[in-house]
């Protein structure tokens, strides 16, 4: 038997470990955006499902709006996932370099998209 002592390498802290709390908060925010995207996509599928169940009673405008809401919700969900991932990766770097700034343009962009879908919903329920 060989009883040589194995030398344990010294583990050096990473740059990320210096700001653990901030990185964990960044991950929680990312996951919240992903949950939001899944909910938005779910709304699109819900409207599409309701649309097919009510298709016989819908006007051509209602039919068009239902299709637009479904497509827009899925597209917005995908856009939300992409934007959340981009913002998450940018924040990793800005946290480590201590140059973090709030990402207002992403919030404003997503808010505008959600307002557009809400207007489509309102129009749909007025037509139906």
In a domain, 9, yes or no: no
Q: pTM (2 decimals)?
A: 0.75
In a domain, 6, yes or no: no
Domain hosting 66: range is 18-127
Question: pLDDT tier at 87 (50, 70, 90 boundaries)?
Answer: very high
Model pLDDT, residue 2: 60
In a domain, 1, yes or no: no
Residue 59 near residue 41, CB atoms below 8 Å: no
Q: What is the pLDDT of residues 95-126, one digit of tens each?
A: 989 998 887 888 898 889 889 888 888 887 77
Compute the average pLDDT of residues 55-63: 76
In a domain, 8, yes or no: no
Number of structural domains (the chain) is: 1
Question: pLDDT tier at 81 (50, 70, 90 boundaries)?
Answer: very high
Query: Where on the phi/psi map is residue 98: left (φ > 0), alpha (ψ -120 to 50), or beta?
Result: left
């Amino acid at each position: 038997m060989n009883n040589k002592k194995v030398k344990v390498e010294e583990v050096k802290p990473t740059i990320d470990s210096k700001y653990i709390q901030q990185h964990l908060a960044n991950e929680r925010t990312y996951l919240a955006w992903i949950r939001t995207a899944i909910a938005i996509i779910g709304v699109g599928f819900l409207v599409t499902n309701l649309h097919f169940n009510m298709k016989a009673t819908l006007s051509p405008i209602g039919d068009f709006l239902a299709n637009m809401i479904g497509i827009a919700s899925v597209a917005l969900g995908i856009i939300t996932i992409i934007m959340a991932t981009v913002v998450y990766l940018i924040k990793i770097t800005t946290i480590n370099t201590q140059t973090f700034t709030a990402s207002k343009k992403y919030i404003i962009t997503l808010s505008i998209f959600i307002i557009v879908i809400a207007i489509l919903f309102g129009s749909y329920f007025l037509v139906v």
